[in-house]
Structure 1
Amino acid sequence: MRRQRVGQDIFRRALLQYWEGRCAVTGLSDPALLRASHIVPWSECVSNAHRLNVNNGLLLSALWDAAFDAGLVSFDDDGAALISDQISSEAGQLLGSASRLRRQLSSEQRNFLRQHRRRWQPQIVLEP
């Protein structure tokens, strides 16, 4: 159990550095409200290298993280948000105000996000 926490701390620090301490979508910079979100979940990674790979993560605000982990949002290859029609209208309005990632995606990030989209199909909307 401790090994996983140490790994998650390393992963979080790497994402904080990569995303310059800001949510990948909203730009929120409050560390207490930021989550190191795995694109492919920790439990489904094939190796520790995948678990700790900064390209397998997004630094997200708590709301975006919860929606992403539940498969209610994902991102296309250009970083545009894909929002499920299963999300509540209230949450959809809050999420809809920020509709794309703040940085261009690397090819490795796009590959991880494709896995995320496949995992949650048909729940997520495939067009922004």
Structure 2
Amino acid sequence: MIESPQSFVIRQECDKVAFQNGFRRPHEELNGWRHYTSTTAQGSLWLAREHTGGWIVAIDHPGIVSEIGLEPVDGGGPGLARYRFADLAMLYAAMPRVYELAVSLPDAPLQEFLYQTKGLPKATEAERLVVQRVGQNIFRERLMAYWQGRCPLTGIADKGLLRASHIKPWKDCDSDAERLDVHNGLLLSAMWDAAFDSGLVSFDDIGRPLFSPALSLEGRALLRWETPLPLSDKHREKLSWHRAAFSYIAE
């Protein structure tokens, strides 16, 4: 059972959880659910406290629900899915990922790009390059959030060694929505990015590297990796384009 109405202490705890994780716009409480939105992330979330001491977060963002990797709980409440945490520490541990996905999915980078480039001239090549740089900066920023600031292959987390790798290159995309879709990007260390961008490496549907015959044995040996890429179906769709573009044959 949800504590309703929330006590002053519980309401303050909910506010701290939400505010510290990017959801700083509180709305009215309804049936024990405290409602929050964000100026930088898409979707809403609700926080509630159970009489037994657990905490529940409800989410209405389909992208978060599909990729958060948590098991939803049964029972009524707002949003598309609800997740229970035994204590505040577990709730705090999960919330950063909620925000990272909310600022990345489904089209938050595109909306930020449209906002930042509204009114910018695009008549000349130089002006179009300025707009492109804005988009590429936003794309990198949101890929950093989505991949949690770490190359998923190698574990490298030094920002200076990480590259925002388009799966389908900017010039080949059909729209700005496709260019700024985080599922059209991988956050790779610089060496892996160079190999991927040139087609010397691609990835299968399980996220394992595929090496081109044009890559030397020495180069292949230098491309060390720890774990396969964790991929969504949308990543797999884009990677099938990459494999076809560079004439990979499925292994």
Task: For residue 60 of structure 1, give the secondary structure of its aligned residue in structure 2.
Answer: strand
Give the aligned residue type for 1:113: L
| CA RMSD across the alignment | 1.3
1:25 Cα deviation after fit = 1.1
Task: For residue 228 of structure 2, give the secondary structure of its aligned residue in structure 1.
Answer: coil
1:99 Cα deviation after fit = 6.2
Give the aligned residue type for 1:85: P
Flag structure 2 segments of 5+ consecutive residues without an equivalent.
1-128
Flag structure 1 segments of 5+ consecutive residues without an equivalent.
none
Residue of structure 2 equivalent to 1:5: 133
| Higher-Rg member (1/2) | 2
Residue of structure 1 equivalent to 2:225: 98
- Distance in 1 separating the partners of 2:249 and 2:164: 23
Give the aligned residue type for 1:114: S
Higher relative contact order (CA 8 A, sep 6+): 1
1:72 aligns with 2:166: no
Residue of structure 1 equivalent to 2:250: 126
Give the aligned residue type for 1:110: R
Tell me which protein shows more helix as a share of its residues. Answer: 1
1:102 Cα deviation after fit = 4.0
Conserved in 1, the CA contact under 8 Å of 2:153 and 2:229? yes
Number of residues paired by the alignment?
123
**Where in structure 2 are the equivalents of 1:1-128 lying within 5 Å?**
1-95=129-223, 97-98=224-225, 100-103=227-230, 105-121=231-247, 124=248, 126-127=250-251
